Amino acid sequence: VMTMATGSVLYLSQQFAMTPFGFSASQAALLMSYLGGMQILSQALVTDAITPKSLYLVTTATISASLLGMGLSPVSSGMFVLWLAPLSVFFHAGNVMLGSLLTLYVPEEEMGTVLGLSIATMTVSQIVTVPAAAELFHLAGFSAVPLAASGFLLGSTVVIYGLGFVPPNIQLLENEGGNTVTVAPAAAQ
């Protein structure tokens, strides 16, 4: 869900830079370097001191705020570049942390499968998101893309929480050997 919402802008950022914002090819290339830098910077935010539910809410809130800001701001290249920073940073940091948390819910021998499925959802989201965002851009203009993405993310989050699909909180403890182990909420008492 987060990948689809964020991807509606990030996957098309180079295209959007040229149309409607008028970047030259070299400026669009610099923008891609800027986004790469934001992805590296995002790793400074990665922490294991947050619960899965809190992480999902914080990531959803920051991504939605970035998308709303982008959609409600005047359509200008400066505002586009400005809003890409928090969108990219919070998406990549949240994505790394959520992917890592997935491994805590499965036996060690299934971690590779879970990480593979997590990465596969990003690929599937590109297949769905890019044509949908491009069509929305052609029908309603640039601002409609981040506004619709934010609405999709917020609405999906309400449904996800309403149906209880968010994993339970877990507790990490060190055992006698100094290894970190995952403990279910009931067992942690």
Q: How far apart are CA 26 and CA 48, in angstroms?
A: 38
DSSP-assigned beta bridge partners for residue 181: 173
Give the HSE-up count for residue 71: Cα atoms under 13 Å, Cβ half-sphere.
23
Ranges of beta strands (E only) in the chain are 171-174, 180-183
Give the pLDDT confidence score for residue 183 in this predicted structure: 53
Structure token pair of residue 115: 């990480």
How far lies 97's CA from each of 28, 68, 101, 110, 178, in Å?
29, 23, 6, 18, 22
Give how far Cα 41 sits from Cα of 3, 36, 88, 100, 105, Å.
18, 9, 9, 18, 27
pLDDT at 188: 42
What per-residue confidence (pLDDT) applies to 114? 86
Q: What is the C-alpha separation between 186 and 59, in angstroms, rounded?
A: 26
Residues 121 and 7: their CA atoms lie apart, in Å, by 12
Cα separation, 29 vs 10, whole angstroms: 14
Query: pTM surpassing 0.75?
Result: yes
**What is the predicted pLDDT for the residue at 187?**
43
Q: Which portions of the chain are predicted below pLDDT 50? A: 186-189
Residue 181: its pLDDT value, please? 54
